[in-house]
Amino acid sequence: MTYPKYINEIIELTHDMWQKGWDEYNGGNVSYLLSNAEVETLLADLEETDFEIYGDEKKEVKVLPVPENMQNRHILITASWSHFRNLKNQPAVDLGIIQTTAEGYQIVAGLNSGKRPTSEIFMHILAHAARLEQNPDHKVVVHNHATNIVIYSLLNEVTSKSMTLDLWSVLTESIVVFPDGIAVLPWEVPGTHQIGLDTAEELKNHRMVVWAKHGVLSTGTSYQDCFGLIETADKAAHIALELQKISGKSIYDNNTLSTDNLKEVCRALKVDSKYLD
């Protein structure tokens, strides 16, 4: 059975994240914005697959006032209670394609057993809307529970600036990969209207948002873009945690990169960064 590339890639991504330990049980969710060209060939691309296509019987599910730039968009999205360990074995059950309306969405294909899109659908729609305003090539939103990032937010009272500088200071690559920094939201109840609004606000200036004591969200132009952002931040958090544990000192009592070092990297690689003033 041959799926379109964007379905094959989400299958690979979700399994990779489960193997990393970032998506235990039913944790995590992913969404992908289909291009106009992908929408035009959608029915033909799915015709020989096991994805159910719903045609004229589509019913609107009202969840929120959808931002104008996200109305009438097709989104591939993971299902509520999907298990990324098993998604590769039943993609038509754990994935669906929805079409947004002015107030919600209609299911176009997939979700074969009657599941609904992730409970974080409100956040996904608002996140896509926010990032499209910054980058018309934006495509993907990924949320998971990257282990070291979560631990870091549990052990340290972090802010957007403090966590960004901590992660930049222990891994030179970090400031190159996410020069826009990493936003931090104080703990909030997941799946709510409020966390969606607050996340979208932070995404006006960042591509990654940490939900303190919970997980992380990344946005990008491809699945690999989103995976790479989280992978780099999580590795930096791991280094920072190990450094504190081994030395018994705070990060900055060790031989970490200084602000001057970071500015030098930015100058040499022509990277514009924030939080260094």
Domain CATH number, residue 1:
3.40.225.10
Contact in structure between 211 and 185 (CB atoms under 8 Å):
yes
Which of 67, 84, 119 is at the close of a domain?
A: 119
In a domain, 38, yes or no: yes
Q: Which two tokens stand for residue 43?
A: 């029915």
Q: Are residues 189 and 264 in the same domain?
A: yes
Distance, CA of 132 to chain centre = 14
- Is residue 56 over pLDDT 80? no
pLDDT value at position 220? 98
Instruction: Give the count of beta carbons closer than 10 Å to the beta carbon of residue 61.
Output: 15
pLDDT at 1: 72
Please give the pLDDT value at position 229: 98
Q: What is the pLDDT of residues 12-48, one digit of tens each?
A: 999 999 999 999 999 999 999 999 999 999 999 999 9
Secondary structure element (H or E) that encloses residue 100, with its range:
strand 95-100
User: If pLDDT is split at 50, 70 and 90, which confidence band does 226 have?
Assistant: very high
Q: Would you name the residues annotated as active-site residues?
A: 120
Mean per-residue pLDDT, 133-149: 98
Query: Which residue range is the domain that position 113 belongs to?
Result: 1-119
Is residue 68 pLDDT above 90, yes or no?
Answer: yes
pLDDT for residue 110 is more than 90:
yes
**Cβ atoms 87, 107 nearer than 8 A:** no
DSSP string, 145-178: --HHHHHHHHHS---HHHHHHHHHHH-HHHHHH-
The answer to whether residues 109 and 157 belong to one domain is no
Q: Which two tokens stand for residue 54?
A: 């719903």
Domain shared by 217 and 273, yes or no: yes
Residue 137 falls inside a structural domain: no
CB 85 within 8 A of CB 26: no
Tokens 């305003």 appear where?
A: 133
pTM over 0.85? The answer is yes
Domain count, the chain: 2
* Together in a domain, 70 and 25: yes
Is residue 124 included in any domain, yes or no?
Answer: no
